[in-house]
Amino acid sequence: MKKLLAVLLTLYYLFPLFSQNPIVRETHFEQQDNQWNKVFMVERTFDNQGILTTEQQLYFETAIEQWVPQNSKWFDRAGNEVRENRQYFAGIDLGFFVQDIRRTFDKNNQILTEEFFQKEDKNSQLMLTNRNEWEYLPDCSTIKRIYYRNQATKGELSFQGIQFTLFDENCEYVYLVSNNRDVPVERLRNQIRLRFESLEDDKERRIVETLACANEFGCEEWAFKEQKTFDADGQLLSFITGSREGFSRSITNFEYQPTQTTTIFQRFARLNNLANQSLVSRIIAVTDTSGQLLSRQIHEPFSFSETINEYDEKGLITQTFFENRQKDSTGIKTFRDTTDYRYQYYCDGLMQSQIVDYGGFKTKIEYSYLLPADCGESTPELLPFGLFPNPANNLLNLVSEQFVNGAFSFSIIDAYGKVIHQQQNYRDNNQVIDISPFSNGVYFLQLNNQDKVATKSFIIAR
């Protein structure tokens, strides 16, 4: 008991640091028959420094009327996702289909291994099904080797292929090639050609090609090519990609204005074995100088869609409007869909809620915090209140002189941000709370009166 009390006291003094960190829960709802029905929930926990340590997704299973774990993640101190557990609930009889993913990293936070374990039903054991291994070369290039287990024979892992990712001398990504054999890296490196050409007006073009004859690296034919052209200041002006096999190419042009940038992407392809390439799609995107997307239009032969974002004076997005129109082969409009996204924030910019209206079908996300947003004078705190004893056993006393001046409500919140108890006070300056149903641990008591809030932590230790 003394050791447990020491641990809980340590958590008690560390948790105020954590309590200043943002989202610990987001709950998703769908609206049906004017009712908001629970769909799924994301819970996050942090350490005393505010670093994310775990994340869990739970879906509300109506068949058993409870939250069912769906996806759990664990992170190390550097933020690396070291483990992930995915579960699909197939019913009470079948139980869970499970996939467990485990990752290791080096001291530079580069991934070294990734292992996938699977469990096919509630009676089977987790089995290693595939493994990825990374190797890092001095020039920033990487090698990924892939191993799979034959599920039919349940034999040992066998080599399936290699992926080589080439980076240039500035450690910028160039291209990725794959092979189903563990061939020497130099062969894969020689399959990729990178060169630079000087153009007029002090412009430069960067050309990347992969060769068509992968086993004869002396050939000059290319299977894939990309070209980037830059201005004298290094800004990207055009990006062209092409595939010989698919007889297709895409062209992206960039236009820079004092207040915004316009990107025009056009994709061409050879259709119906015609000799010439035809324009298949066009995307026009507009961003401001801070990188915020203002609008995007997608033009295709029989469809058109547009996205428009609105921002407030703080740069927070308040509304996104999406419209999609489709036509049939005669050019007659046959379908029109609009979606309206609305966002609400607390005064310091933390997300409060999001409502998505799919033409009348609504979904909602609510975001919860361990402590309310710190908005300075805009949300004045209540006068200090007292909690005793702390640590507590089965009863907790809540004392405040403000109770005699009006009705207040209070909530008890667990370490995951879940509200486990709510109660109104009755103008009594001493409230006695029965906490016997709750297990040992750290909790928060939040006092509320309209826009006034105050929170304190306490410990249950028996």
> Is residue 104 within a helix (H) or strand (E), and if so which, with residue range?
strand 96-105
Most confident range (mean pLDDT) of 22-26, 383-387, 429-433 is 429-433
Greater confidence (342 vs 211) lies with 342
The letter for the amino acid at 183 is V
Q: What is the pLDDT of residues 63-105, one digit of tens each?
A: 777 788 889 999 998 889 999 999 887 777 777 788 999 999 9
Look at the pTM and tell me if it is higher than 0.75: no
CB-based contacts of 302, cutoff 8 Å, min separation 6: 326, 327, 328, 329
Q: Which residues contact 64 (CB under 8 A, 6 or more apart)?
A: 92
* Neighbour tally for 344: CB within 10 Å: 13
Task: Return the SS3 of 192.
Answer: strand
Q: Give the residue-averaged pLDDT of 22-31.
A: 77
Question: Could you give the CA distance from residue 98 to residue 202 in angstroms, rounded to a whole number?
Answer: 57
- Domains contained in the chain, CATH given: 386-460 (2.60.40.3080)
Residue 337's DSSP bridge partners are 324
CA atoms within a 13 Å half-sphere pointing along the CA-CB vector of 44: 19
Residues contacting 23, CB < 8 A, separation 6+: 44, 350, 351, 367, 368, 369
Query: Nearest-CA neighbor of 42 among 10, 73, 14, 82?
Result: 73
pLDDT computed for residue 363 by the predictor: 92
Helix (H) or strand (E) holding 298: strand 293-300
Q: Is the predicted pLDDT of residue 430 greater than 90, yes or no?
A: no
pLDDT at 8: 33
Given a cut of 90, whether residue 274 has pLDDT beyond it is no
What is the Cα–Cα distance from 20 to 15, expressed in whole angstroms? Answer: 9
Residue 315: exposure state from Cβ atoms within 10 A (0-12, 13-18, ≥19): exposed
